[in-house]
A and B are shown apart, each in its own frame.
Chain A
């Protein structure tokens, strides 16, 4: 019965759109604004949503967005729950052992520390909150500071607010707006740190054809200035590429 329903739906869907158009399922986290987040309509929104839709249009795919925990986002790509990851994921050698990346669509960026307003720079050697399985958590783990890991980014900031951690270490672009709107409660501390090779789209190593198409689409958007415009809109950064 279920198969029948699916078959009927598939027929209906394919009849409506261009028949040969391939459906690509785009995995994201939905909790890392402005890269990706769930807006008040309950939809996936953000820089990567806008960019991803544009890339799909150029590559000729029909795209369907899927949200998935950050922690399991790579395993579920490998097992085929979705076909790409666009989740503010930095290109690193460690990740490249498991999955492939397109070229970056966001340049290598600064990571930064944020602490409560009264703190001084020495807190960066204390208890540092970071999201699990991120370049930032890997960096803190290597440093002298004590790492406290959280499943989602919002919890790392909350940990600083409630005193559980001395500072949070995350992408500066994620932290910027949070600090700006904290009414002086939070501030950046210490030096920024350059980490990673920029943010790229993660794909399975076996999906070379799809990766090449997305790669070409990114090249095109970099060339015609569309990507820079999007980055400026979401991050307020001019001439990123």
Chain B
């Protein structure tokens, strides 16, 4: 980064730190904060969308759809999250590769599962082996987003379903009595009123989502936890900047990051809460949190 950093061995004091903290490896660490934030901000709207879909499915008039909705939410809620975080990306990856293998390489007669090995032809690989590493990383990140969305979507579906049920029936009946269609009733009355009941659960879910981001590490993504551990570990002179065990400082940085994120989130939700509660304060006050 800086000119003086060319030979770290002669550096001392602040210079050493300035150079140390600006190594390309540290920039990968800094970048991983962006990765975590990106994950949260991409996942959250998908979770909300899945939550609505799941809630609608559970409330559908069509019985098989209702079954699907209930199966989705109770399955995800009943199984430990970590199992899904590990299962979804692998299952999805192998399913996609398997389908591509069948379509793209019909001439291959050997089975895909050979003993312990999962072998698809080169053209069926996702991403292709020849694709640059960043594509592999984006692909892994997308799988992670899907895994997070599937898991948190089920919780959101539950919260939203509960919130939709919590809106007093009389409010909806009145809308119908005034000639509103089901769609108008939902859009004009049901949806605006459900937020009061959904928000405590959804804010809870948002906090859990933030706290769950270190699971990215389990999905093979080099997130902030990975880099804190890697950079903080003691370094011998195989490295340009040898140092003893500094993990505690790196994890303190993570602590500060997560606390800041939580604090900002709480501010944001407090503001949202005031907005959605407008007029409904007396009803909303009776509502307890609907998280897990």
Chain A interface (Cβ within 8 Å of chain B)?
Answer: 5-6, 9-10, 13-14, 22-25, 30-31, 33-34, 37-43, 46, 62, 64, 66-69, 72, 76, 78-81, 83, 98-99, 152, 154-155, 157-158, 161, 177-178, 180-181, 204-206
- In the complex, what residue of chain A is closest to B237 when comparing beta carbons? A181
Interface residue count on the B side (C-beta < 8 Å): 43
Q: Is B64 an interface residue (CB 8 A)?
A: no
- In the complex, what residue of chain B is closest to A155 when comparing beta carbons? B233
Further 16 A-B residue pairs, CB within 8 A, beyond A64-B133, A158-B247, A204-B117: A9-B131, A9-B132, A23-B128, A39-B240, A40-B23, A42-B27, A68-B220, A79-B93, A81-B220, A152-B229, A154-B234, A155-B233, A157-B234, A158-B245, A204-B119, A205-B117
List chain A residues, Cβ under 8 A from B130.
10, 13-14, 23, 62
In the bound complex, what is the Cα–Cα distance between A41 and B22 (angstroms)?
10
Contact B131 A40 (CB under 8 A): no
- In the complex, what residue of chain B is closest to A17 when comparing beta carbons? B130
Contact B233 A98 (CB under 8 A): no
A-B contact pairs, 15 of them (CB 8 A): A9-B131, A22-B129, A23-B129, A38-B230, A40-B23, A40-B24, A40-B239, A41-B23, A42-B25, A158-B234, A158-B245, A158-B247, A181-B236, A205-B115, A206-B117
Contact B229 A79 (CB under 8 A): no
List chain A residues, Cβ under 8 A from B240.
39-40
Contact A42 B237 (CB under 8 A): no
Q: Which of A6, A66, A205 has the most chain B CB atoms closer than 10 A to its own CB?
A: A6
List chain B residues, Cβ under 8 A from A41.
23-25
The majority secondary structure among interface residues of chain B is: loop
Q: A78-B116, A206-B117 are in contact. Are A181 and B242 (CB under 8 A)?
A: yes
In the bound complex, what is the Cα–Cα distance between A157 and B120 (angstroms)?
40
The majority secondary structure among interface residues of chain A is: mixed
Point out the residue from A38, A64, A161 that lies within 8 Å of B245, measured CB to CB.
A161
List chain B residues, Cβ under 8 A from A33.
236, 238-239
Contact A78 B118 (CB under 8 A): yes
List chain A residues, Cβ under 8 A from B229.
152
List chain B residues, Cβ under 8 A from A22.
122, 129
Q: Which of B122, B128, B242 has the most chain A CB atoms closer than 10 A to its own CB?
A: B128
Contact A205 B114 (CB under 8 A): yes
List chain B residues, Cβ under 8 A from A38.
25, 230
List chain B residues, Cβ under 8 A from A9.
131-132, 135
Task: Give the shortest distance, in Å, between B77 (CB) and chain A (any CB).
Answer: 26
Contact A177 B116 (CB under 8 A): no
Contact B233 A79 (CB under 8 A): no
In the bound complex, what is the Cα–Cα distance between A68 and B239 (angstroms)?
20
List chain A residues, Cβ under 8 A from B67.
none
List chain B residues, Cβ under 8 A from A206.
114-115, 117, 119
List chain B residues, Cβ under 8 A from A39.
25, 239-240
Contact B237 A80 (CB under 8 A): no
In the bound complex, what is the Cα–Cα distance between A41 and B23 (angstroms)?
6
Contact B25 A178 (CB under 8 A): no
Task: Give the shortest distance, in Å, between A82 (CB) and chain B (any CB).
Answer: 9
In the bound complex, what is the Cα–Cα distance between A58 and B90 (angstroms)?
33
- In the complex, what residue of chain A is closest to B136 when comparing beta carbons? A66
List chain A residues, Cβ under 8 A from B115.
205-206
Contact A6 B24 (CB under 8 A): no
List chain A residues, Cβ under 8 A from B242.
181
List chain B residues, Cβ under 8 A from A72.
220
Task: Give the shortest distance, in Å, between A69 (CB) and chain B (any CB).
Answer: 7
Q: A42-B23, A158-B247 are in contact. Are A6 and B97 (CB under 8 A)?
A: no
List chain B residues, Cβ under 8 A from A78.
116-118
Contact B131 A6 (CB under 8 A): yes
**Per-residue A-contact encoding for B1-43, CB less than 8 Å = 1, 0 else:** 0000000100000000000000111011000000000000000
Q: Which of A31, A34, A80, A181 has the most chain B CB atoms closer than 10 A to its own CB?
A: A80
Point out the residue from A25, A76, A152 that lies within 8 Å of B233, measured CB to CB.
A152
